[in-house]
Structure 1
Amino acid sequence: MLESVKYFWQVRQPKSNQDLLVMTILCRNEVDIIEANIKTHSTLGVDGFVVMDNGSTDGTREKLAELTKQYNLHVIDQPSQTYQQAKWMKELAFYARDKMGARWVISNDADEFWIPENGDLKSYLQAQDSVVTVKRSNMLLTEKALTDDYHFSQAEHRVLYPICYDREVQKSDNQISMLLVPISPKVIVNPRGLIKLSGGNHRAKHVGKAFTARSEAGIHVYHYPIRTYSQFEANIMHREELLKLPNARMGDHYRRWVRIYQQGGLEQEFERFVLTQEQLSTFVEYRVAVKDNKVSKAILKALQ
């Protein structure tokens, strides 16, 4: 209740240069992308980071330790494999509020990049914001992804207008590409007055939501869920273990991929993600996909 009161008092205060934007991330075995994520967002107005490492074994935890020397980055170790994403992300938002003084929190995943149309991210946020919803798109793979020196930032096309397959078809038809289906947006929240974050950080409950929730078209989230086959396979093997937990909650796409993995077809599933030039040209022609290298430029600039 006290934090709710603080929210309604805070929205009366004008936005200032002292207001902090903090990004929270829950990650496990994301060594190929976590450094780019932190460095890119630090150049785009994010003042600090809270990263919960969920038992990484691939060098992610060590990379995070290195990054704490360069950035305002707090690392929290959470070795439990109970997969309580909604609970943990809410805890991280409150940590950002209480320990770092965040006015706004971006609840992020390691494979997502929040890119402003111009300037920095904070220029699109308002003093009264409670929940800000931002659209998200999957980045597409081309045959470049099959080369040894491929880096995920080389992807230059994203889904523009997804293909709305029936939900049951998404689960059962092995011939479709899950990168082309609609995906949920993401949210930025004011942690004061925050009640709940959904498991995938797609929605939030907030005491001020009825009055001040809005969408923001000036920020777009670029999603890299599939980067290489080895990354994809390791992720699905881990998801298989998580799905053994009682009351495990996970998206239909992960359940599909675990099933296909168990049937021995994961490599074929990955091949469906990789578009030939002819296929890509057709998708662009029919507006399923669009060339968009804004995120690529931001990542490469941050990594220089």
Structure 2
Amino acid sequence: MTEVTPLDLLSSARALKHRVFLARRDSERRTEAARLRSDPVFRAQYTAAENGLDVPPLQHHPGPWAIAMVRNEADVIETAVRHLVRQGVDNLLIVDNLSEDDTPQVLARLANEFPQLHVGTDNEPAYYQSAKMTRLADLVSAAGARWIIPFDADELWFAPHGRLVDALAASGTPVRRAHLYNLFPTLDGKQWRLDTARHFDDKVAFRPWEGAVVAMGNHEVSRPGSRDVDGLRILHMPWRSFEQFARKTRIGAAAVAKADLDDGEAYHWRWLGSASEDDLRRVWRRLLAGEAVASAAWYPRGTLRPIEGVPPLSWADVQRLLQAGSPGDDAPTR
């Protein structure tokens, strides 16, 4: 008979305590998701999102699905789609929200090239971002999704090693966080620069769960299950030119006003949308000079390292840039 030592008892007690903690946390997350789904405001927004969407029939596919709501992203959406396909995520549902540029034409062309790219329209002008992404997640869940990647058109998703699809398939947790790093252009727009400081707010990919709610900005999902805190990576290109910066802030502020959100939500759209063009140009110059402009949400926080040519295609290439330079080199480059 094996002797049970005090150390064994302590280890068992700790394991039991941890299981109780995880069960309690899962219960809290189930309660949170149910509360959000039953909240009258969210229900009204979800209904408006459902009524505003026109989505084609989705082919059943038991693999990873990427979902996105886009507006005026003609300059980056093709790059994002092709990157996801290279990463093994070839089932996508993208809805266009009242674009005024060539985004619909770009998506139509890509849909002809990639049959598993499903393109829809979103005619609801209000910024019901959480409700809209939750509705898209529900649709791909019904189509057999094993993983859901809520992405924005200005994001390139990576695994730390290998392809994104393989990292998701091998995951032992139902929610994987994605650490985000920003790219900013030079003032003349001819070159990208990588901000070596990781952005403070992660994004998430997750396994479907009935009743899950995607949070505003795709930064979290209300569903039970552990989170892999060091899972995935994102290169983010929030600002590409002054024209895009100014247009996006104006449209974002108008959509937020229609949504009647709490004051703390989408604060940067409110602030930038109320600024004059001269103020926006001053903010733009400060951003590209590497200054911290807190109300702009996306601004450089670390050293800006130049990238030769197009954004990197693998995270190993990004990692080399992050590790470049001498120790203590933390002043933003100009």
> Do both proteins adopt the same fold according to a TM-score greater than 0.5, normalized to the shorter chain?
yes
Q: 1:240 & 1:19 partners in 2: Cα distance?
A: 38
Question: Contact 1:242–1:248 (CA<8 Å) still a contact in 2?
Answer: no
> Which residue identity does 2:174 align to in structure 1?
S
1:291 Cα deviation after fit: 3.4
Question: Contact 2:147–2:205 (CA<8 Å) still a contact in 1?
Answer: yes
Question: Contact 1:83–1:242 (CA<8 Å) still a contact in 2?
Answer: yes
Q: 2:186 aligns with which of 112, 119, 142?
A: 142
- Corresponding residue SS for 1:93: helix
Q: 1:251 aligns with which of 259, 266, 270?
A: 266
Q: 2:118 & 2:161 partners in 1: Cα distance?
A: 28
Question: Contact 1:124–1:216 (CA<8 Å) still a contact in 2?
Answer: no
Q: 2:192 & 2:244 partners in 1: Cα distance?
A: 16
1:123 Cα deviation after fit: 2.2
Q: Does residue 68 of structure 1 match 2:82?
A: no
Question: Contact 2:256–2:269 (CA<8 Å) still a contact in 1?
Answer: no
1:292 Cα deviation after fit: 7.7
1:155 Cα deviation after fit: 1.1
Kindly tell me: are residues 68 and 255 of structure 1, through their superposed partners in 2, closer, same or farther at Cα, counting changes over 3 Å?
A: same
Q: What is the TM-score with the length of structure 1 in the denominator?
A: 0.72
The structure number with the bigger radius of gyration is: 2
- Corresponding residue SS for 2:87: coil
1:238 Cα deviation after fit: 0.7
1:115 Cα deviation after fit: 2.0
Question: Contact 2:250–2:272 (CA<8 Å) still a contact in 1?
Answer: no
What residue is the counterpart of 1:14 in the other structure? Answer: none
Q: 1:266 aligns with which of 280, 283, 287?
A: 280
1:230 Cα deviation after fit: 0.8
Q: Does residue 198 of structure 1 match 2:215?
A: yes
What residue is the counterpart of 2:194 in the other structure? Answer: 157
- Corresponding residue SS for 2:208: coil
Deviation track 1:9-50 (CA, whole Å, cap 9, x = no partner) reads xxxxxxxxx951111111011001001110111101212110
Question: Contact 1:20–1:47 (CA<8 Å) still a contact in 2?
Answer: no
- Corresponding residue SS for 1:227: coil
Question: Contact 2:128–2:259 (CA<8 Å) still a contact in 1?
Answer: no
Question: Contact 2:194–2:306 (CA<8 Å) still a contact in 1?
Answer: yes
Gaps of 5+ in 1: 5-17, 162-181, 277-286, 300-304
> Which residue identity does 1:39 align to in structure 2?
R
Kindly tell me: are residues 136 and 127 of structure 1, through their superposed partners in 2, closer, same or farther at Cα, counting changes over 3 Å?
A: closer
> Which residue identity does 2:197 align to in structure 1?
L
What residue is the counterpart of 2:37 in the other structure? Answer: none
Q: Does residue 187 of structure 1 match 2:187?
A: no
Q: 2:178 & 2:103 partners in 1: Cα distance?
A: 27
4+ runs deviating over 6 angstroms: none
Q: 1:25 & 1:246 partners in 2: Cα distance?
A: 19
* Structure having greater relative contact order (Cα 8 Å, sep ≥ 6): 1
- Corresponding residue SS for 1:77: strand
1:213 Cα deviation after fit: 2.3
- Corresponding residue SS for 2:112: coil
Q: What is the TM-score with the length of structure 2 in the denominator?
A: 0.66
Q: Does residue 228 of structure 1 match 2:241?
A: yes
Fraction of identical pairs, as percent: 25
Q: How many residues align structurally?
A: 240
Q: Does residue 93 of structure 1 match 2:137?
A: yes
